[in-house]
């Protein structure tokens, strides 16, 4: 059964963001006509990798050339280094909005397609800045970086909307439907024939894993009691009499009905819109699965594999991607078990978890999110995940939509608190990060606690 909501009316999307996107496309077009090699810089998560994929595909559609660098974060020194490169167009994705001043100084044309809260600095005339926050849209819900990249290249190629939504799914922007510009992109992708939407159970890896693993690996929407717990998933399937050793895609219609009823009892959101693209092989044809594989590629620094998958490269890349995902999921399950065991330390307005285990460093943000959505920890209190890195502490903070509605803005809290200790921080209201000196960890936590308290009261 195909399932579509009302088309998102063009008039509901601010015209100004489409205009800004068109300016970016025009600039890119001019450079492609001159034969410039486009320098693309993007982030190492699913959204960043798919954003780079969107841009690379647009460039390839004009037989142009690109040189991509994938980074965990943008540093001022890196921007300085770019200043010594001879490229005439730099295309920043999923980063750059907080560094407009430094970026503006590059003696080249620049496109920034980002969705983070931007700095106050007005970009210079050499910069075309595509960011939802500049147009009254919410960068943690209405548009991801890959969506911003889609809008920035839309006049060159409209065949990449499905990839833009891979990034949005990776950044957890889907909740009970796509909103804002994501909705607009969804409709354009359906029109372009690159996206199919149908109603089904939103289970992970339905084409590649046995059902009990699919259920245990379904992190979003969460299935409390089953998510992250392979034995519990097996037990559940045995209890309801559904064969657990075969793939969801292969079970009988009767079993699918039983499963739907039983899982909906645990979380009604488990049944709903599923996004697929026939353009990709089945294992990544489900866009949420695609996002999961890209995340695993990013966490393991296999950026070439991730970009290759976005460009539609074959079996070899997929095999590696699936293997990386397997390991990554095992790490997530270990991380969640650790949180279940240890719990968090609760302050007045925030709670935190702390680890010196190097494995957790890369997954802290993800397990923090999941532990709130699974209610392993109290979802009413913003959560900071702290990982020791020699002399520094890496911070990943997550909260929930209701807490944001009460005034919490983790991006602002972490930016301000980190800057008091010579660190850096920022991000979105609902998800943010920071790096601070280890010796200041206690004082940093106190300050974030105070700032968050003030945000809720004001
Ligand atoms: O750098 P970037 O903006 O892509 O990272 C956003 C982070 O915020 C992602 O790790 C994403 O999973 C997280 N997020 C979240 N909950 C939301 C929205 C985003 O945990 N509702
Ligand atoms: O690292 P993590 O996934 O927790 O980051 C969450 C969000 O905070 C991302 O959007 C990231 O780009 C942002 N962030 C930031 N400055 C930092 C660390 C993270 O803006 N120093």
pLDDT computed for residue 7 by the predictor? 47
Separation of 205 CA from ligand 2 center, angstroms?
A: 27
Structure-token match 């972490």, residue found = 414
Q: Is the pLDDT of residue 2 over 50?
A: no
**Domains of the chain and CATH, by start:** 13-192 (3.90.1640.30), 208-288+313-332 (no CATH), 342-455 (3.10.310.40)
Give percent of the chain with pLDDT exceeding 70: 98
- CB–CB of 360/338 below 8 Å? yes
Q: How far is the CA of 28 from the centre of ligand 2 (A)?
A: 28
Strand segments (E) across 188-332: 196-201, 271-276
Cα 269–chain centre separation? 20
d(CA 133, CA 130): 9
How far apart, in Å, do the first and last CA atoms of the chain sit? 47
Average pLDDT of span 190-214: 96
User: What string of H, E and C letters represents the secondary structure of 272-302?
Assistant: EEEEECCCCCHHHHEHHHHHHHHHHHHHCCC
Taking alpha carbons only, the member of 437, 295, 458, 445 closest to residue 382 is 445
The ligand minimizing its distance to the Cα of 132 is: 1
Regarding the beta carbon of 419 and ligand 2, being less than 6 Å apart is answered no
Which of 148, 146, 153 shows the shortest CA–CA distance to 38? Answer: 153
- Nearest bound ligand to CA 144? 1
Q: Is 428 in the pocket of ligand 2 (CB under 6 A)?
A: yes
Each residue of 29-38: pLDDT tens digit?
A: 999 999 999 9
- Kindly report, residue by residue over 392-437, the tens digit of the pLDDT: 999 999 999 999 999 999 999 999 999 999 999 999 999 999 999 9
Of 389, 286, 345, whose CA–CA distance to 73 is shortest?
Answer: 389
The residue whose CB lies within 8 Å of the most ligand 2 atoms, and thus the one to mutate among 427, 429, 436, is 427
Q: From ligand 2's centre to the CA of 196, what distance in Å?
A: 31
pLDDT in tens, 96-118: 999 999 999 999 999 999 999 89
Q: Which long-range contacts (CB under 8 A, 24 or more apart) does 71-79 make?
A: 71/41, 71/42, 71/43, 71/44, 71/95, 72/43, 72/44, 73/43, 74/41, 74/98, 74/99, 76/102, 79/103, 79/105, 79/106
The two three-digit tokens of residue 165, written as one number: 């939504």
Q: What is the DSSP letter of 350?
A: -
Percent of the chain at pLDDT exceeding 90 = 90
Verdict on whether the full-model pTM lies above 0.90: yes
Distance CA 295, CA 298 (A): 5
Tell me the pLDDT band of 119, cut-offs 50, 70 and 90: confident
* Tens-place pLDDT, residues 203-240: 999 999 999 999 999 999 999 999 999 999 999 999 99
Using alpha carbons, list the distances in angstroms from residue 320 to 51, 55, 151, 214: 21, 23, 30, 19
223 CA to centre of ligand 2 in angstroms: 26
Distance between Cα 51 and ligand 1 center (Å): 15
State yes or no: pLDDT of 337 exceeds 80. Answer: yes
What local confidence, expressed as pLDDT, does residue 458 receive?
A: 79
Task: Name the residue of 98, 431, 435 whose CB sits within 8 Å of the most ligand 1 atoms, as the mutation to test its pocket.
Answer: 431
Confidence of residue 313 (pLDDT cuts 50, 70, 90): confident
For the chain, the average pLDDT equals 94
Across the range 366-381, mean pLDDT stands at 97
How confident is the model at residue 122, as a pLDDT?
84
Checking if the pLDDT of 4 tops 60, the result is: no
The torsion angles phi and psi of 242, rounded to 5 degrees, stand at -110, 135
Q: Does the pLDDT value for residue 1 go beyond 80?
A: no
Separation of alpha carbons 193 and 456, rounded Å? 45
Q: Tokens standing for 54?
A: 């969107």
Hey, whose CA ends up nearest to atom 7 of ligand 2?
432
CB 160 within 8 A of CB 153: yes
Closest Cα partner for 427 from 408, 441, 446, 445? Answer: 408
Provide the edge-to-edge strand list for the sheet that holds 383-389. Answer: 345-346, 351-355, 383-389, 392-398, 431-437, 424-427
Q: Which ligand 1 atom is at minimum distance from the Cα of 95? A: 1
Which ligand has an atom closest to residue 419 CA? 2
ipTM for the whole complex: 0.96
Do residues 370 and 338 make contact, with C-beta atoms less than 8 angstroms apart?
Answer: no
How confident is the model at residue 5, as a pLDDT?
43
């Amino acid at each position: 059964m195909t399932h579509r909501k009302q088309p998102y009316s063009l008039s509901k999307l601010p015209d100004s963001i489409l205009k800004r996107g068109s300016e970016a496309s025009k600039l890119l077009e001019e450079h492609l006509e001159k034969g410039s090699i486009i320098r693309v810089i993007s982030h190492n998560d699913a959204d960043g990798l798919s954003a780079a994929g969107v841009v690379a595909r647009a460039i390839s559609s004009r037989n142009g050339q690109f040189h991509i660098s994938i980074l965990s974060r943008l540093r001022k020194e890196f921007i300085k280094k770019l200043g010594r490169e001879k490229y005439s167009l730099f295309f920043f994705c999923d980063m750059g909005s907080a560094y407009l001043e430094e970026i503006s100084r590059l003696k080249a044309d620049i496109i920034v397609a980002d969705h983070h809260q931007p700095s106050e600095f007005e970009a210079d005339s050499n910069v075309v800045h595509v960011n939802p926050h500049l147009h009254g849209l919410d960068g943690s819900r209405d548009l991801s970086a890959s969506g911003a990249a889609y809008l920035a290249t839309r006049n060159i190629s409209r065949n990449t909307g499905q990839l833009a939504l891979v990034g949005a799914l990776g950044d957890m922007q889907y909740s009970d439907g796509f909103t804002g510009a994501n909705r607009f992109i969804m409709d354009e992708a359906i029109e372009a024939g690159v996206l199919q939407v149908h109603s089904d159970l939103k289970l992970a890896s339905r084409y590649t894993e046995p059902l009990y693993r699919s259920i245990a690996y379904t992190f979003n929407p969460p299935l409390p009691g089953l998510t992250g717990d392979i034995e519990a998933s097996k037990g559940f399937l045995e209890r309801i009499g559904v064969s657990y050793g075969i793939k969801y895609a292969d079970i009988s219609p009767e079993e699918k009905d039983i499963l739907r009823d039983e899982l909906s009892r645990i979380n009604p959101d488990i049944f709903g819109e599923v996004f697929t693209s026939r353009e990709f092989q089945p294992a990544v044809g489900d866009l949420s699965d695609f996002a999961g594989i890209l995340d695993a590629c990013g966490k393991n620094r296999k950026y070439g594999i991730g970009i290759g998958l976005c460009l539609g490269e074959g079996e070899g890349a997929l095999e590696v991607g699936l293997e990386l995902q397997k390991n990554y999921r095992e790490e997530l399950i270990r991380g969640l078990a650790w949180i279940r065991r240890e719990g968090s330390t609760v302050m007045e307005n925030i709670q935190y978890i702390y680890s010196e285990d190097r494995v957790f460093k890369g997954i802290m943000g993800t397990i923090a999110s999941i532990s709130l959505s699974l209610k392993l920890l109290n979802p009413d209190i913003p959560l900071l995940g702290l990982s020791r890195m020699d002399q520094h502490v890496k911070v990943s903070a997550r909260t929930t939509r209701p807490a944001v509605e009460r005034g919490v803005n983790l991006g602002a809290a972490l930016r301000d608190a980190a800057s008091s200790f010579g660190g850096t921080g920022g991000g979105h209201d609902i998800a943010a990060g920071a790096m601070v000196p280890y010796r200041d960890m206690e004082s940093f936590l106190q300050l974030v606690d105070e700032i968050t308290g003030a945000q809720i009261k004001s």
